[in-house]
Amino acid sequence: MLTLTNEFTTVIVEKVQTRNGERLRISSPRLGYSIDLDPLELEALTWQTVETFSQLLRTPYGPDEDEAEMRPLSDLILFGGEHA
């Protein structure tokens, strides 16, 4: 387990074993959010541009209720936010 902290947040990164294999779990204890990523999802993150991450961080807690259109994260990863 690895804990990363700065003046804004704390994130815990750990390798976990699931019934579908190993995953990297990234969690934010303060906010109560967590995600398990498989190797392909992690690799897909390396394909992204700075603009894709800027799009993700534009509304870090999700879209406003009036613009809440549910789309898979893969749309953002595959299309770089163009169609997301």
33-37 and 10-18 beta bridge pairing: unpaired
DSSP bridge pairs for 69: none
Q: What is the mean pLDDT of residues 5-25?
A: 95
* Segments forming the whole domain that contains residue 51: 47-84
More confident residue, 82 or 7: 7
Assess whether 26 and 2 both reside in one domain: yes
Measured in residues, the chain has a length of: 84
Is the overall model pTM greater than 0.75, yes or no? Answer: no
Residue 24's pLDDT band (cuts 50, 70, 90):
very high
Q: Could you give the number of structural domains in the chain?
A: 2
Assess whether 27 and 51 both reside in one domain: no
Q: What is the mean pLDDT of residues 45-60?
A: 85
DSSP bridge pairs for 12: 3, 27
User: How far does CA 59 lie from the centroid of its chain?
Assistant: 13
Q: What is the mean pLDDT of residues 10-26?
A: 96
